[in-house]
Structure 1
Amino acid sequence: MWILYLSLTVLLLILTLLPKIQHSHWIFRTPEFGKIQITFFTLFTFILGFFAAPHEYLWYCQGLLVLIFIHHSVILIKYTPLYPVKKFTQKYQSSDKIHFISANVYQFNREYDRFIRLIDKYKPEMFLTMESNGDWEYALRKLEQDYPYQHKVTLENTYGMHFYSKLKIEESGTHYFVADDIPSIEAHLKTEDGYSFVFFGVHPPPPSPTEEETSKERDGDLLSTARRVIEIDKPVIVVGDFNNVAWSKSSILFRKTSHLIDPRIGRSFVSTFHAKYKLLRFPIDLMFHSEEIFIEDLKTLENFGSDHLPVYCEFFIDHEQEKKQEEKIDYATEKEKAEAEEMIEEGKKEDGERDAVVTEG
């Protein structure tokens, strides 16, 4: 029992320390994804210590586990209802409520009708699909009558992206910030009651042993989006499969350099991946918004066959109350801005070497 307990303690210490090393290799970045699981496993190991055989180093290990637990908890508590944030209600001068669904559909998922039924059930004004290829585009044509405005980026490399809207798209474009096969969508929309806003859909590649060796492209793509966001003088929402978690260094840099707000703070983790394994689920489908946008609801929806759960959001726009949310914005220092620019350049230089057509398995 002592060997098991000691091994778990050492493992938890390593997983806690690895992300502190500012290296882009996936070995150092992937432990960030499991912070929730690491926290609970730390508590489990601490309890296990009381059943381990007496040992002269037991209480040193128990003390270390307490420190590890506190370290992770201080970070995670911000993303729970226990963290106090000011709530806002819709006023007479606010826009009508707007709803969207963001979903990584998983390119090889053939259960198109389940996703279509999901859209029919919740009837969002707009929805974004990621990993949507030609087959998905064809399957979703039956929704085009209800969603007459679209922006499509059809790819077979698991980075295709489609945006459908009932709201008028006044203009839209596709960005390839760091690589010519990793798109981001920028759509300028106008509501029926006259409110304009900009919707960004993003899906950068993850650092992992099966995909990208480093996080350079991911971080460069996200920070390039942030640089574009601050050029826009309209309410902004950035949504997608970030392949990142809200507490990572690059996510925090994104939030600070874009001057956007993370709606998970004071709300919940909204964990989406992996859809089939509840205990091994990470919050990597993120969203951020400007101070004119007020989030009423943010949650995951039921699985439709993908490896990601879809994200559902309800929000309204209010220019009269926007100053009340300014306190939620953190601004980057000059040093952080310079670091973000450096990460963008590193992302552009990185060669992802992805196949143009990816097959399952």
Structure 2
Amino acid sequence: GLTIIAGILPMVPHPHWIFRGFEFGKFQFSALGIVLLAIGFSWNGDPIVTALQISLGILLIRDGLILIKYSPLYPLKKAEPTTTGDSPIIRVLSANVLQFNTEYHRLINMIKSSAPDIVVTLESNSAWEEKLTEIEVDFPHSVKIPLENTYGMHLYSKLEITEAQKHFFVADDLPSIQAQIQTSDGRSFTLFAVHPPPPSPSEEPTSEERDGDLLCIAKALRKIDGPRVVVGDFNNVAWGRSSVLFRKTSELIDARIGRGFISTFHARFLLLRVPIDLFFHSEDVIVADLKAMPNIGSDHFPLLAEFRLTDNTSAQEEEIQTLEADELEEVNSMIRDGKKAEGDREDFDS
């Protein structure tokens, strides 16, 4: 019964964390549901158990159709690099460092060993900024937003940042970074770094700010020409309602589809892990690899993405989905609610 309730609650279109929180555990609840369904066959003849089994079976089929997309079993035609017209490989390392984590050397050593071109840090405050000055010899271009409320972020790049903006779409303490970056062969692409707040009993009571922030970013992305990538801690799973609306609004591609769950949180609890550090890209970006990296002392595993810019957009155009008319109104409503919501974030340096 509880498993059925856990499957039904996310269907309720309400932003409270009780409903949105159960979106995160869809894989775990589905696995538990399969076990319970198998056990239920030993209760043949009991009408209540039969009714529960039928209900559970329907939910498992529904959730299975959603989750299969995030499995290597999903029949997805991968875009292949071309011999001409593609940029060199670009490597982006995104890490939610956990503001209170003082094992700075673990991330610094990972940066040195994995050799990314771009590093995005989330939850990075002034202490993290000071420690990361060590990497600035190799990463001369940067955008820095040190905050003490667990929503600071930094962008470090070996590639030239030709233009950068700091956005605060729904609140003046919830930033995102937009950067125009030039590759070694003279191409240009836009990178967005994001980190909205989660709906949870310990943080925000609803998903309103998270959803509003993500969808503001999605609308901004749709207006940008050329290659685009988005990376960060979405505090939402790829199959969550606002993540799906983000993908459709921005008209970007979820790099996880057809690759696997690639769970990044929680680093300390294996059975609770979910994919909330996400990566989206436009059709003129070919993702070569996407993987979770080893633990750096945070509650998140860093995410490493490798991609190329390409002139061949036709191979991935069919993966792009757009909003229906009723979904557009849903998006606009979520943005309005997100801007009206009043988050309660503590400044841990005060």
Q: TM class by shorter-chain length? A: over 0.9
Who is 2:162 aligned against?
A: 170
Who is 1:150 aligned against?
A: 142
Structural mapping, 1:313-332, within 5 Å: 313-319=305-311, 321-332=312-323
Structural mapping, 1:206-221, within 5 Å: 206-221=198-213
Who is 1:90 aligned against?
A: 81
Who is 1:77 aligned against?
A: 68
Determine if the alignment matches structure 1 residue 179 to structure 2 residue 171. Answer: yes
Shift of 1:245: 1.1
The CA distance in 1 between the partners of 2:349 and 2:241, in whole Å, is 30
Who is 1:46 aligned against?
A: 37
Q: Percent identity?
A: 50
| 1:244 aligned residue (223, 231, 236) | 236
Is 350-359 or 240-249 further displaced after alignment? Answer: 350-359
The CA distance in 2 between the partners of 1:88 and 1:75, in whole Å, is 22
Contact preservation (8 Å) 2:203, 2:344: no
Shift of 1:63: 2.4
Is 265-274 or 151-160 further displaced after alignment? Answer: 265-274
Structural mapping, 1:29-44, within 5 Å: 29-44=20-35
* 3-state SS in 2 of match to 1:227: helix
TM-score normalised per structure 2: 0.97
Q: Deviations over 1:26-57 (max 9, x none)?
A: 00100000001011010111222245597343
The CA distance in 1 between the partners of 2:197 and 2:16, in whole Å, is 13
Who is 2:195 aligned against?
A: 203
| 1:138 aligned residue (112, 130, 133) | 130
Who is 2:183 aligned against?
A: 191
Q: Deviations over 1:117-146 (max 9, x none)?
A: 111110000010000001100111100000
- How many residues are aligned here? 349
The CA distance in 2 between the partners of 1:53 and 1:258, in whole Å, is 49
* 3-state SS in 1 of match to 2:91: strand
The CA distance in 1 between the partners of 2:309 and 2:173, in whole Å, is 33
- Flag the 1:358–1:52 CA change in 2: closer, same or farther, 3 A: farther
* 3-state SS in 2 of match to 1:336: helix
The CA distance in 2 between the partners of 1:168 and 1:102, in whole Å, is 18
* 3-state SS in 2 of match to 1:295: strand
The CA distance in 1 between the partners of 2:289 and 2:223, in whole Å, is 27
Letter aligned with residue 34 of structure 2: L
TM-score normalised per structure 1: 0.94
Who is 2:257 aligned against?
A: 265
Who is 1:334 aligned against?
A: 325
Determine if the alignment matches structure 1 residue 106 to structure 2 residue 98. Answer: yes
Letter aligned with residue 325 of structure 1: Q
| Cα-Cα RMSD | 1.3
Letter aligned with residue 21 of structure 1: V
* 3-state SS in 1 of match to 2:316: helix
The CA distance in 2 between the partners of 1:24 and 1:207, in whole Å, is 8
* 3-state SS in 2 of match to 1:185: strand
* 3-state SS in 2 of match to 1:201: strand
Shift of 1:59: 2.6
Contact preservation (8 Å) 1:158, 1:358: no
